[in-house]
């Protein structure tokens, strides 16, 4: 399944910054922009041409186009691993949607997709970037990742209908393997892009079937020798805004459809490997065993208890793998993974020390040994305060562009836009170390995420897209 390669979009005519309504208003457009793909499944058929004609795509309609990709009948929800066939299919969908809007799509050497709405002259600097990811956790929901990408496409439609003439370029960005569900490193694409992950280490990462990242990249037409910090790509971006479904209860409790992010809680992943003695389940007497799975069970409880003892800490074992993994076999080794989070990075480090000590005691009690390794650790990240304040003011003061056809007024705009910290990691958290970054959250009435029960009401997703359009408009009209 070879994906698209390189750039696909047509040339970019000119224009100048400002708001203009009507024909020819959209710049950075392509003469070949095709507003309505017949095969797109409904939504694009009523899409917006690059010149600003038509009806903006609905977020619901865009997400519906993805409904059949990566359906997981066993777990429920979706399984769309990084650099898998499913993620490639979703990337191909994105390229089609972006190209249909006259955006110039490229894939960089780390596998990150960029879809450009250029300014006259085509200079790509000080750009406003927005976007998210299309991969999922195993058995994930419909919104985590795709909501930000679909909302970005819909926001471009709204800006075109409003006749926006950007003073700076816009890029919609799609990061690969954000969840880290295949190669164990969350935000893999943005970490590679920013150089936060050593390219040689990354290339050697293996998935559960032993496939290396280098091999998976090759299947997607990428060369692992070219991985690593991409200064030229980063220098083009002036700021980044990621819209994401909320993964907690902050907006429900505040009665708001849309909020802004203040920070991403520090988080990390560690692996505990218990080694014991593999043996026969029938012939090995209970007193003669060195069973690493029993030791691991003690560690699972220790993880919970350690986190419970520290206010605001969260620690989870969601994945545990006995080796070789047979019903009538005492395991020889067990690997389990710990996800731990706390606003204070020193507290997180102390938490892991305490868990490690408890795991070592549990291992010793069973005649086993244990080894702890850190797989990825991210400190607490604060989003750019000035950018977030600017967007908050823009969203409060707006009625979605102030134009009669600019979309309905934002319900969230009444009474102020809540600003929330998030316990979930995001590519925005990685980029925040490089460039001014902000996040928008859309209410999730279940408060549940990384599960098929993750949800956003249809009207809230459209409100989110309008809020993103308003935020981008604010940023695109002035540096
Ligand atoms: Zn996400």
Q: What ranges do the domains of the chain cover? A: 18-265+380-477, 268-378
Q: Which architecture does CATH list for 268-378? A: 2-Layer Sandwich (3.30)
| Ligand 1: centre distance to CA 140 (Å) | 10
pLDDT of the residue at 36: 34
Strand pairing class (170-175; 258-264): unpaired
| Ligand 1: centre distance to CA 448 (Å) | 13
pLDDT of the residue at 406: 53
Model confidence at 47, pLDDT cuts 50, 70, 90, reads low
pLDDT of the residue at 407: 56
pLDDT score of 113 more than 60: yes
| Ligand 1: centre distance to CA 142 (Å) | 11
> What's the pLDDT tens digit per position in 119-165?
988 799 999 999 999 999 999 999 999 999 999 999 999 999 999 99
Mean pLDDT over residues 43-69, rounded?
A: 80
| Ligand 1: centre distance to CA 406 (Å) | 28
| Ligand 1: centre distance to CA 237 (Å) | 21
18-265+380-477 maps to which CATH number?
3.40.630.10
% of the chain beyond a pLDDT of 70: 86
| Ligand 1: centre distance to CA 438 (Å) | 14
Count of alpha carbons within 13 Å of 44, Cβ hemisphere only? 26
pLDDT score of 31 more than 60: no
More confident residue, 387 or 254: 387
pLDDT score of 4 more than 60: no
Mean pLDDT over residues 250-260, rounded?
A: 91
CA distance 414 to 254: 12
Mean pLDDT over residues 165-181, rounded?
A: 96
Mean pLDDT over residues 43-70, rounded?
A: 81
| Ligand 1: centre distance to CA 144 (Å) | 4
CA 455 to chain centre: 16
pLDDT score of 258 more than 90: yes
* Prediction pTM value: 0.80
pLDDT of the residue at 272: 98
pLDDT of the residue at 39: 34
Model confidence at 408, pLDDT cuts 50, 70, 90, reads low
| Ligand 1: centre distance to CA 364 (Å) | 38
Query: Which of 80, 182, 186, 84 lies closest to 141 in space, CA to CA?
Result: 80
Mean pLDDT over residues 358-385, rounded?
A: 95
Name the burial class of residue 344, with classes exposed (0-12), middle (13-18) and buried (19+) by CB atoms within 10 angstroms of its CB. Answer: middle
| Ligand 1: centre distance to CA 188 (Å) | 12
| Ligand 1: centre distance to CA 81 (Å) | 13
% of the chain beyond a pLDDT of 90: 76
How far the first Cα of the chain sits from its last, in Å, is 41
pLDDT of the residue at 333: 98
pLDDT of the residue at 102: 96
| Ligand 1: centre distance to CA 246 (Å) | 9
Neighbours of 404 (CB within 10 A): 8
Lowest mean pLDDT among 23-37, 228-242, 417-431: 23-37
pLDDT score of 410 more than 90: no
pLDDT of the residue at 307: 97
CA 99 to chain centre: 22
pLDDT of the residue at 54: 82
Q: What's the mean pLDDT when you consider all of the chain?
A: 87
| Ligand 1: centre distance to CA 288 (Å) | 46
Residues with CB under 5 A from ligand 1 (ion): 144-145
pLDDT of the residue at 392: 92
Q: Are 373 and 271 in contact (CB under 8 A)?
A: yes
CA distance 370 to 293: 11
| Ligand 1: centre distance to CA 467 (Å) | 18
pLDDT of the residue at 24: 31
| Ligand 1: centre distance to CA 427 (Å) | 8
pLDDT of the residue at 121: 85
pLDDT score of 91 more than 70: yes
| Ligand 1: centre distance to CA 302 (Å) | 28
Model confidence at 233, pLDDT cuts 50, 70, 90, reads very high
Mean pLDDT over residues 307-328, rounded?
A: 96
> What's the pLDDT tens digit per position in 417-439?
899 988 888 999 999 999 999 99
Please report where in the chains the tokens 């003439």 appear, as a residue.
165
| Ligand 1: centre distance to CA 185 (Å) | 14
* Structure-block tokens of residue 72: 């997981």
More confident residue, 42 or 414: 414
> What's the pLDDT tens digit per position in 461-470?
999 999 999 9
CA distance 233 to 192: 12
> What's the pLDDT tens digit per position in 264-278?
988 899 999 999 999
Mean pLDDT over residues 16-30, rounded?
A: 38
pLDDT of the residue at 18: 53
More confident residue, 50 or 324: 324
């Amino acid at each position: 399944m070879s994906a698209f390669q390189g750039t696909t979009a047509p040339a970019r005519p000119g224009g100048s910054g400002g708001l203009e309504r009507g024909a020819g208003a959209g710049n950075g457009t392509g003469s070949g922009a095709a507003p309505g793909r017949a095969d797109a499944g409904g939504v694009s058929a009523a899409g917006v041409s690059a010149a600003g004609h038509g009806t903006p795509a609905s977020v619901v309609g865009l997400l519906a186009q993805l409904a059949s990709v990566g359906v997981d009948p066993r777990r429920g929800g979706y399984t769309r691993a990084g650099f898998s066939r499913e993620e490639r299919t979703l990337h191909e969908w994105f390229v089609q949607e972006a190209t249909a809007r006259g955006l110039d799509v490229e894939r960089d050497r780390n596998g990150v997709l960029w879809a450009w709405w250029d300014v006259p002259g085509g200079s790509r600097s000080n750009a406003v970037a927005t976007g998210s990811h299309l991969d999922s956790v195993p058995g994930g929901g419909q919104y985590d990742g795709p909501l930000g990408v679909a909302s970005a496409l819909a926001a471009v439609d709204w800006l075109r209908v409003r006749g926006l003439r950007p003073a700076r370029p816009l890029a919609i960005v799609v990061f690969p393997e954000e969840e880290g569900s295949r190669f164990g490193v969350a935000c893999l694409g943005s970490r590679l892009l920013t150089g936060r992950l050593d390219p040689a280490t990354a290339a050697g990462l293996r998935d559960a079937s032993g496939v290396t990242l280098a091999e998976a990249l090759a299947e997607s037409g990428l060369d692992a020798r070219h991985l690593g910090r991409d200064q030229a790509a980063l220098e083009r971006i002036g700021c980044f805004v990621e819209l994401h479904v909320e993964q907690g209860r902050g907006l429900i409790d505040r009665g708001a459809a849309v909020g802004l992010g203040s920070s991403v809680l520090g988080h990390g992943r560690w692996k505990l490997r218990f080694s014991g003695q593999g043996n026969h389940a029938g012939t090995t007497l209970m007193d003669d065993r060195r069973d690493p799975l029993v030791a691991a069970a003690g560690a699972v409880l220790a993880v919970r208890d350690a986190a419970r003892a520290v206010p605001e800490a969260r620690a989870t074992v969601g994945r545990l793998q006995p080796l070789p993994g047979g019903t009538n076999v005492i395991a020889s080794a067990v690997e389990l993974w710990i996800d731990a989070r706390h606003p204070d990075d020193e507290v997180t480090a102390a938490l892991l020390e305490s868990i490690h000590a408890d795991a070592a005691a549990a291992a010793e009690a069973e005649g086993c040994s244990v080894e702890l390794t850190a797989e990825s650790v991210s400190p607490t990240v604060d989003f750019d305060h000035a950018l977030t304040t600017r967007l908050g003011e823009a969203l409060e003061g707006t009625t979605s562009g102030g134009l009669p056809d600019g979309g309905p007024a934002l319900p969230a705009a009444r009474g102020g836009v809540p600003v929330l910290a998030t316990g979930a990691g995001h590519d925005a958290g990685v980029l925040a170390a490089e460039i001014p970054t902000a996040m928008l959250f859309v209410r999730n009435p279940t408060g549940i995420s990384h599960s098929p029960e993750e949800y956003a009401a249809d009207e809230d997703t459209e409100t989110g897209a309008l809020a993103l359009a308003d935020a981008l408009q604010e940023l695109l009209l002035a540096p």
